[in-house]
Amino acid sequence: DGGITQSPKYLFRKEGQNVTLSCEQNLNHDAMYWYRQDPGQGLRLIYYSQIVNDFQKGDIAEGYSVSREKKESFPLTVTSAQKNPTAFYLCASSIDRTDTQYFGPGTRLTVL
Amino acid sequence: AQTVTQSQPEMSVQEAETVTLSCTYDTSESDYYLFWYKQPPSRQMILVIRQEAYKQQNATENRFSVNFQKAAKSFSLKISDSQLGDAAMYFCAYRSALIPAVGANSKLTFGKGITLSVRP
């Protein structure tokens, strides 16, 4: 089955700890994205990558970091510098930077 | 900067009836794409329908169709023969059709969403 997977589905973190969210796709898509969703809000772009070994900041990149060492993988690290990390995180991919974006199932991060 | 507005936070429809969800947007660009995404309780975002701004014909996908009014910057979603499985949050989204320069942003701009409930 082709698609986008995110793990884990639920993640709990203590304050001051870094945590990494996984995103994998087997769709052979070049572009990948990370969005954050807060209650009552639409999605906001954190980071995106148009190609392997390249990534760009989105609208709310502070306190987050990413890497894109492989085409199929785009992990997101939520660092201790992120002031309010509790949210729902969605990964997306598209064939290229101009095409329709398709989403993974998401990860719910809760900071205790 | 582009903005997307969904002014109705909640709507309800009787099963088998038709409902229309509203969306307006603001842009100075002439070429762009508009999308409706569905987010059911599982929270995965599912593409419902896509409209290219240069096409005058409204997009349709089975029971889903749009009313795209470019001059009014309006993009509403009509769901016909509503089913219980249609209950979800629906998000309207905008993306520029300009080919981004290397490193530029091809992001989606989302509205805040509307919660649709379906009464049996």
The tens digit of pLDDT for each residue in B42-60 reads: 899 999 999 999 998 999 9
List the single residue in B43, B93, B105 with the smallest CB-CB distance to A106.
Answer: B43
Distance CA B112, CA B6 (A): 6
Buried b / exposed e along B25-62 (16+ C-beta atoms within 10 A): bebeeeebbbbbbbbeeebbbeebbbbebeeeeebeee
pLDDT digits (tens, 9 = 90+) for A78-90: 998 888 999 999 9
- The DSSP symbol for B84 reads G
pLDDT < 70 regions, chain B: 99-105
Assign 3-class secondary structure to A40-105: CCCEEEEEEEEECCEEEECCCCCCEEECCCECCECCEEECCCCCCCCEEEEEEEECCCCCCCEECC
Q: Coil, strand or helix: which one is A10?
A: strand
> Which residues in chain A have their CB less than 8 angstroms from residue B33's CB?
100
Per the CB < 8 Å rule, is B45 touching A56? no
With CA atoms as reference, the chain A residue closest to B110 would be A42
> Is a pLDDT exceeding 80 seen at residue A1?
no
> Which residues in chain A have their CB less than 8 angstroms from residue B50's CB?
100
List the single residue in A43, A48, A103 with the smallest CB-CB distance to B44.
Answer: A103
> Is a pLDDT exceeding 90 seen at residue A91?
yes
> Which residues in chain B have their CB less than 8 angstroms from residue A43's CB?
45, 91, 108, 110
Distance CA A31, CA B40 (A): 25
pLDDT digits (tens, 9 = 90+) for A12-69: 989 889 999 999 999 999 999 999 999 878 899 999 998 899 999 999 999 999 999 9
